[in-house]
Amino acid sequence: MKEVTAIIRRDKLPDTKNALADLGCPSITIYSVDGRGKQKGVMYAEFDKDMADDYSTSVKLTPTPSVYAMEHDLPKAVLYVPKRMISVVVLDELVPGIIKAIIKVNQTGRYGDGKIFVSPIEESTRIRTGEVGEKTVTCEID
């Protein structure tokens, strides 16, 4: 079993959930996260001439100054961009299809499209039934 974790744009979450459900993988965990990548917290969407004028307001891009920067009077506050992190646990052979679906929905070619991580899962136990192992994985991709 593998855990596929993806950090994606907030406005791409509904389409990503639908794409995974269409593949037969309705079980996901969703986190609200803040972070930064190569863009260092700069909101490029606000400066991209190809973006719709109301893009930043429609997806509510509100970077958050780091607590450290604010508490230590740094000359320039480090900004974190709000994102969504999703996590799915699937059988090993399903990982390529999951990754492909996430990329298809989330790839815009702009900074901030996100990242996908794949990690091994040694064991899984369904609390309700006590089932152990691969029987607990609910994604069934044909």
DSSP letters, 6-73, are: EEE-GGGHHHHHHHHHHTT----EEEEEEE--TTTT--GGGT-TTS-TTHHHHTT---EE-HHHHHTT
Q: Which of 44-53, 71-80, 132-141 has the lowest mean pLDDT?
A: 44-53
For residue 31, give the nearest of 56, 14, 12, 6 by alpha carbon: 6
Q: How confident is the model at residue 136 (pLDDT cuts 50, 70, 90)?
A: confident
Structure confidence at residue 33 (pLDDT): 93
pTM for this model (two decimals): 0.75
**Which pLDDT belongs to residue 49?**
47
Pick the closest to residue 6 from 126, 105, 141 (CA basis): 105
- The CATH topology of domain 2-136 is Alpha-Beta Plaits (3.30.70)
Q: Which amino acid is at 73?
A: D
Residue 122's identity, in one-letter code, is E
CA distances for 129 relative to 34, 87, 88, 135, angstroms? 35, 22, 20, 11
pLDDT of residue 18: 96
Residue 52 has pLDDT above 90, yes or no: no
> Mean pLDDT across the stretch 70-97?
81
Q: What is the dihedral of CA 98, 100, 106, 109, to 10 degrees?
A: 150
Rounded distance, CA 49 to CA 96, Å?
34
pLDDT on residue 6: 98
- What is the Cα–Cα distance from 86 to 16, expressed in whole angstroms? 9
